[in-house]
């Protein structure tokens, strides 16, 4: 598996190059192996034929001796007949000659004496049986002694009436020195030739593989540059390979289809942008309506004409309503100008006062506002800051179940070096672990109603002012959102 993986990581050019080199090496090894086998077979056939020729020549000579002898042609007289002739025959034919009786005992040998055994060993019984039973009345025994192959032929000696008189034995030692030298010389020449061929093959394989993959490299470069967001150029190339031409044709066809798809996708994205815009505008218009409703209800419940501060309260209520109305007007204006959100204005304001003002629309007793400092100055759009606070507080209220006995929403403001931190903490149900990574995603919501645009929108607002929004949550115990905005130091 590892080897397959390694091979798959190589480029096509390298694969072609390596394949050609491997084929050449395999061819040279195969040719060398065939040559060795051929030399061995030729040597085997040579020794076999040479022994047969010597045997035929000696038999003809023996027949001539038998036809001219004065001794009766019997098995017992063979030693007398060939007493002197056997040495002459061995010298003429340059081979050792042994004549045995029919029961395998040595009668006469061209060797002067036996250096080891005083009595020569008889022919083994199995050889006698093979000589008698074979059609040719002949058997060749092959043995390897000290790494040298020895042949010994056994054949019957017959008179002119085909009567068997004895057994002729011709020991023959195979001398492969000549063939070994020839094989060694051949392999050296073969190695020299293939070394040169291998060098040529390396160069040829490199240039050939480069030529084959040149067109593929062009196609690969074009494919890597292909993008749905740009105008893609077609490949103008006439390759020498039919398959590569088909690939180029397929790529050019894909470019045409890709261009059509890009047009459709752009149209679809515009339509989706309009739909998203409509959802955001609807949410932004709906968002101020809630504090306006709460303000009016609070005014109805708490209005007292005899209250000495009635004018100030009327002014505060009016300002709150006017701010929310301005927000709705800004959304409508932005929508008409194809903008997703009201234009942001950088105002230098006291964050504590604006947040305190935004908190006035909430009448729940469990909502608490705390600030470490009476004045923290920052540059931010007033309406945007109010939108951030009202959205976070409203989400905190909605996160607490209606039947929960103890409810708590705490809004805190404090200075942290060059930032103002606004925290909104509740003791509601918290956020499930599986939803934590998706809280700020557009259109994601855990509520039964709503479009899930609120947190995504205020996150964009905060980040536009180079701020951050994070949260800490524990499912079943509550959530704390932390807004950090840059401040202006006095």
For the stretch 229-250, pLDDT in tens is 556 666 666 655 666 677 777 7
Per-residue CA distances from 270 to 63, 87, 282, 443, 453 (Å): 116, 117, 18, 18, 19
Q: Out of 4-8, 158-162, 225-229, 427-431, which region has the weakest mean confidence (pLDDT)?
A: 4-8
pLDDT at position 448 is 44
pLDDT digits (tens, 9 = 90+) for 26-64: 877 887 788 778 777 777 777 778 778 888 888 888 888
Higher-confidence residue of 287 and 103: namely 103
pLDDT bracket for residue 339 (50, 70, 90) = very low
Higher-confidence residue of 150 and 251: namely 150
pLDDT at position 368 is 93
Q: Which residues contact 412 (CB under 8 A, 6 or more apart)?
A: 369, 370, 371, 372, 421, 422, 423, 425
pLDDT digits (tens, 9 = 90+) for 79-94: 788 887 888 888 888 8
105 neighbors 122 (Cβ within 8 angstroms): yes
pLDDT at position 338 is 40
Each domain of the chain, given as residue ranges in start order, spans 1-68+176-214, 97-174, 344-490
Per-residue CA distances from 89 to 123, 143, 166, 474 (Å): 21, 25, 17, 116
Q: Out of 218-222, 301-305, 323-327, which region has the weakest mean confidence (pLDDT)?
A: 218-222
Whole-number mean pLDDT of the chain? 77
454 neighbors 288 (Cβ within 8 angstroms): no
Mean pLDDT across 425-441: 86
Burial zone of 463 (CB within 10 Å; 0-12 exposed, 13-18 middle, 19+ buried): exposed
Which tokens sit at 78? 């063979």
pLDDT at position 471 is 92
Quote the CA–CA distance of 478 and 291 in Å, as a whole number. 24
> Over pLDDT 70: what percentage of the chain?
76
Quote the CA–CA distance of 384 and 14 in Å, as a whole number. 62
159 neighbors 63 (Cβ within 8 angstroms): no
pLDDT at position 393 is 92
Quote the CA–CA distance of 184 and 36 in Å, as a whole number. 9
Quote the CA–CA distance of 252 and 248 in Å, as a whole number. 6
pLDDT digits (tens, 9 = 90+) for 383-432: 889 889 998 999 899 889 989 889 999 999 999 888 999 999 999 998 88
Higher-confidence residue of 321 and 332: namely 321
> Hey, what CATH topology would domain 97-174 get?
Beta-Lactamase (3.30.450)
Query: Among 219, 251, 448, 489, which Cα is nearest to 348's?
Result: 489
Q: Which of 2-11, 169-178, 396-405 has the highest mean pLDDT?
A: 396-405
pLDDT digits (tens, 9 = 90+) for 107-158: 888 876 544 445 678 888 888 888 888 777 888 888 877 777 788 888 888 8
Check pLDDT > 90 for residue 369.
Answer: yes
Instruction: Write out the CATH class of domain 344-490.
Output: alpha beta
Burial zone of 449 (CB within 10 Å; 0-12 exposed, 13-18 middle, 19+ buried): exposed
């Amino acid at each position: 598996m590892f080897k397959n993986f390694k091979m798959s990581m190589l480029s096509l050019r390298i694969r072609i190059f390596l394949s050609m080199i491997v084929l050449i090496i395999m061819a040279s090894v195969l040719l060398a192996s065939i040559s060795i086998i051929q030399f061995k077979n030729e040597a085997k056939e040579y020794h076999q034929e040479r022994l047969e020729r010597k045997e035929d020549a000696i038999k003809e000579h023996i027949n001539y001796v038998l036809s001219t002898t004065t001794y009766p042609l019997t098995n017992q007289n063979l030693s007398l007949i060939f007493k002197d002739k056997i040495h002459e025959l061995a010298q003429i034919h340059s081979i050792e000659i042994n004549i045995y009786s029919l029961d395998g005992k040595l009668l006469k040998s061209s060797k002067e004496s036996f250096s080891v055994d005083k009595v020569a060993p008889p022919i083994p019984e199995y050889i006698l049986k093979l000589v008698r039973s074979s059609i040719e009345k002949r058997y060749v025994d092959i043995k390897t002694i000290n790494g040298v192959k020895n042949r010994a032929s056994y054949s019957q000696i017959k008179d002119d009436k085909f009567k068997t008189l004895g057994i002729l034995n011709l020991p023959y030692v195979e001398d492969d020195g000549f063939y070994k030298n020839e094989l060694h010389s051949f392999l050296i020449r073969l190695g020299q030739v293939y070394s040169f061929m291998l060098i040529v093959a390396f160069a040829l394989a490199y240039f050939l593989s480069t030529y084959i993959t040149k067109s593929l490299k062009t196609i690969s470069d074009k494919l890597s540059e292909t993008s749905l967001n740009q105008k893609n150029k077609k490949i103008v190339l006439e390759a020498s390979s039919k398959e590569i031409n088909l690939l180029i044709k397929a790529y050019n066809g894909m470019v045409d289809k890709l261009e059509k798809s890009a047009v459709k996708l752009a149209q679809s994205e515009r339509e989706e942008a309009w739909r998203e815009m409509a959802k955001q505008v609807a949410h932004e218009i709906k968002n101020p309506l809630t504090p306006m409703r709460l303000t009016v209800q609070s005014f109805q419940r708490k209005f007292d004409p005899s209250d000495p501060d009635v004018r100030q309260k009327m002014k505060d209520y009016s300002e709150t309503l006017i701010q929310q109305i301005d927000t709705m007007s800004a959304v409508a204006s932005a929508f008409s100008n194809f903008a997703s959100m009201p234009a942001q204005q950088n105002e230098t304001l006291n964050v504590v006062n604006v947040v305190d003002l935004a908190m006035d629309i909430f009448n729940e007793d469990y909502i608490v506002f705390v600030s470490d400092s009476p004045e923290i100055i920052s540059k931010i759009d007033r309406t945007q800051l109010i939108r951030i606070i009202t959205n976070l507080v409203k989400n905190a209220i909605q996160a607490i179940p209606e039947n929960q006995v103890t409810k708590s929403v705490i809004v805190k403001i404090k200075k942290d070096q060059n930032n103002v931190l606004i925290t909104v903490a509740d003791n509601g149900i918290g956020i499930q672990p599986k939803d934590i990574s998706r809280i700020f995603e557009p259109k994601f919501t855990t509520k039964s109603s709503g479009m899930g645009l609120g947190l995504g929108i205020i996150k964009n607002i905060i980040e536009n002012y180079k701020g951050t929004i994070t949260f800490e949550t524990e499912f079943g115990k509550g959530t704390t959102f932390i807004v950090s905005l840059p401040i202006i130091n006095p």
